[in-house]
Amino acid sequence: MKPQHQQLADGKWESMDFFQQMANVGSEVERAIRWNEKKNAAYGRMAFERSLELLDFTIADRKNRKRLKELLRLREFLADYFFFGNIYRSTKKSWQNYFFSFNYAARLGR
């Protein structure tokens, strides 16, 4: 399947540091949450798929190998929250809290 973020797939993603990558994933997760709250499942699904694509780029980035366990677990939790039974009991607030620190660190340039 053709990536939705073609420019990022062509190598730009790997030039970003981990915090920038995760902040971008979090932005798409936030969009998916907002669209689902507005009862627009189609846009919510598209935003979720974009978040998974960005997360997959992050997982594939060699500099993140030491974080692989957390990234794969994150992927599992996101899929559970958006499309399965939410057995992990994630909430909108828990996702906002999780990704806030990445946004903060990315803005600091860390």
Q: What is the pLDDT of residues 92-108, one digit of tens each?
A: 999 999 999 999 999 99
In a domain, 72, yes or no: yes
> Could you give the number of structural domains in the chain?
1
CA distance 71 to 67: 6
Provide the pLDDT for residue 13.
87
In a domain, 67, yes or no: yes
In a domain, 9, yes or no: no
pTM across the whole model: 0.87
CA distance 106 to 102: 6
Residue 47: partners with Cβ closer than 8 Å, 6 or more residues away? 28, 29, 31, 32, 35
In a domain, 3, yes or no: no
Domain that holds residue 69: 18-108
In a domain, 10, yes or no: no
Helices (H), the chain: 6-7, 13-15, 18-37, 41-60, 68-83, 92-108
Q: What is the pLDDT of residues 21-80, one digit of tens each?
A: 999 999 999 999 999 888 888 999 999 999 999 999 999 999 999 999 999 999 999 999
In a domain, 8, yes or no: no
